[in-house]
Amino acid sequence: MTPVEVFQEHKNLKEYHETSDGNRFFDVLVAKNHAKGLKEKEVKSYKREDHKPEKKEKEVKLTAEDRAKAVEVLETIEAVEDALKDEKAKTVLAAGAKRIEELTAASSGAGTDETE
């Protein structure tokens, strides 16, 4: 059992002590007394603040609508293509295809009809 697991199991525990044979004690004096009868006399102490569980970052899933809006503002064809990798939503794929058409037209000079 890892120190993190010990502290998760004992919510109010601030520290504990472990002897070389793997026994855990809440009182250091009891741990040291137990260690006297062992070949290796070492007692390791663990404090809660040194062994906090790692926080997992929550993965944010965008809706298809939000992904489509994001694709609509990308500025290069490569960026659009990269955003569409592994995409399965038809609305996002359609938005990507439309954006690629717009970028292609803009780069070829099409659609530059400037009327006053």
How do residues 26-85 score in pLDDT, each as one tens digit? 999 999 999 999 999 999 999 999 988 877 777 788 999 999 999 999 999 999 999 999
pLDDT of residue 115: 47
Q: How confident is the model at residue 108 (pLDDT cuts 50, 70, 90)?
A: confident
CA distance 23 to 33: 12
| Count of C-beta atoms within a 10 Å radius of residue 71 | 23
Rounded to two decimals, the pTM is: 0.47
Residues forming a β-bridge with 4? none
